[in-house]
Structure 1
Amino acid sequence: MNHYLPMLYDTLFGFFALFLLTKILGKTQISQLTAFDFISALILGELVGNALFDKEAGIPEIAFVITLWGGLLYLTEIITQKYKRTRSLLEGSPAIVIHKGKLIYDVMKKNNLDINQLQNMLRTKNVFSIQEVEHAILETNGTVSVLRKPAYQTPTKEDLNVYQTPANLSVMLINDGEVIYDNLAEFNLSEEWLYVQLEQQKTELSDVFYAEYMEGKRLFILPYVNKKDSQ
């Protein structure tokens, strides 16, 4: 049993050390990871994993590995922020793969991108035909940004000369039957106001699974629904 204790201490230390490291370096969404970020994360996980299962490695060794690799990543971030010319080397740079409706073969070849891959990436942007695309840019995180041709663009309210209502954020006021008092206070709403809204819709708090408020609109309520009730 005693031999499990060092593993417990090492694992806990590695967990909190990695958590602290991510806080120091900043957070990046998975979909926004560059190739360098992805490789860095893999190597860091591998280093910590090896240290955890190495019988001769303890907390000092794990701390050294995390500090060293974290320092290198932090130094890289400073360099890319201070010297803009290094960004394209370390983070990559966007590449135009479609320009004025024409495929740029050299750019696609340089980025090892074939037509099937490009079509798949376009479909994720709800573009199902290359002839709809005016410009397409391959981003550093591997996604593609698309600008459609004018004939295929969705008209805006400004284009249609339609009255534009203000854009408001929605806020969750009830989650799983519990009132979110912090959100009520943030929007200067009272608990009494909330119960009045529920009463107007002939609903009790215990029956509400989710409730959402948006300024100028009626309180949106979703009651508890079982699978058999939805059929």
Structure 2
Amino acid sequence: MEYMSIVVELVVGYFALLFLTKILGKTQITQISAFDFISALILGELVGNSLYDNEVSVWQILAAIFIWGFLIFATEFITQKSRRFRHVLEGTPAIVINKGKIDFNVLKKNHLDLNQLQHLLRAKDIFSVRECEYALLETNGTLSVLKKPLFENVQRSDLNIQPTQVSLPLSLIIDGEIVYDNLKIVHQQEDWLMHEINKKGFQSHKEVLYAEWKEGEDLLVQGY
């Protein structure tokens, strides 16, 4: 009976957290701030601790999850409406490199050392501080950089090259399975796809690890 209770609590907690994540939005994952990190930990603890407390019922778990979720939702709503409240909870970006100079006071204030700064710069393809004009430490811990003009990437407009049409590559086969939704987007049928992979030497889509379509180019097909 005890094992059955754990199973029920796990299943209910799983779907409750999944539902709550859908409501709160993708920023809970992709743009996580300190507040978002704490809220995610609390949500996990609410379910985790309840598994080992026999006096806690499923309804109490649901109530705790949705009360905490309501508090997070209310906080997010207030931060969207109030800039001052947003500053307190989410913070503001900090300029760690200003006009090519490292601001040590800003680094110290944000508990960032030089090794960490170098690591973040290398992630932006900057291997020397002399290449960077401005660097902003964002509220989620990532670094946004603006290179010095001498080290900026060359743009087509700089060379007077006519721009080409941009098309989105789409996966048509993944792990031997046809992605029919993408096939509809490119306005093609399964027969066309089979013909294309046959030209590449494959007899069935089950033999294909990955197939990618891009407008104006041949179908990219790779087997296992």
The TM-score by the shorter chain falls in which range? over 0.9
- Find the counterpart in structure 2 of residue 228 from structure 1: none
What letter is aligned with 1:122? Answer: L
Deviation per residue, 1:164-184 (Å, 9 max, x gap): 211110111122333322221
Structure 1 residue 86: Cα displacement:
1.3
Please say if 1:70 is aligned against 2:77. no
- Find the counterpart in structure 2 of residue 210 from structure 1: 210
* Cα pair distance change 1:50/1:202, threshold 3 Å: closer
- Find the counterpart in structure 1 of residue 78 from structure 2: 79
Structure 1 residue 155: Cα displacement:
0.4
What letter is aligned with 1:222? Answer: Q
Cα RMSD (Å) of the superposition?
A: 1.6
Deviation per residue, 1:154-202 (Å, 9 max, x gap): 1011112122211110111122333322221121112232233234434
Deviation per residue, 1:42-72 (Å, 9 max, x gap): 1221222112211111112212211221111
- Find the counterpart in structure 2 of residue 36 from structure 1: 35
How many residue pairs are counted as aligned between the two chains? 223
- Find the counterpart in structure 2 of residue 58 from structure 1: 57
Partners of 1:49 and 1:7 in 2: how far apart?
A: 10
Q: Secondary structure at the match of 1:221?
A: strand
What letter is aligned with 1:96? Answer: I
Q: Percent same amino acid among aligned pairs?
A: 51
Matches within 5 A, 1:1-231: 2-28=1-27, 30=29, 32-205=31-204, 206-224=206-224
Assess if the C-alpha contact under 8 Å between 2:202 and 2:208 holds in 1.
Answer: yes
Partners of 1:91 and 1:132 in 2: how far apart?
A: 29
Comparing 72-81 with 50-59, greater Cα deviation is found at 50-59
Q: Structure 1 length as normaliser, TM-score?
A: 0.90
Q: Secondary structure at the match of 1:53?
A: coil
4+ residue runs of structure 1 moved beyond 6 angstroms?
A: none
Assess if the C-alpha contact under 8 Å between 1:211 and 1:220 holds in 2.
Answer: yes
What letter is aligned with 1:140? Answer: T
Partners of 2:5 and 2:191 in 1: how far apart?
A: 54
Q: Structure 2 length as normaliser, TM-score?
A: 0.93
Structure 1 residue 29: Cα displacement:
6.3
* Structure 2, unpaired ranges of 5+: none
What letter is aligned with 2:75? Answer: T
What letter is aligned with 1:39? Answer: I
Structure 1 residue 31: Cα displacement:
5.2
Assess if the C-alpha contact under 8 Å between 2:21 and 2:28 holds in 1.
Answer: no
* Cα pair distance change 1:21/1:140, threshold 3 Å: same
Partners of 2:127 and 2:169 in 1: how far apart?
A: 32
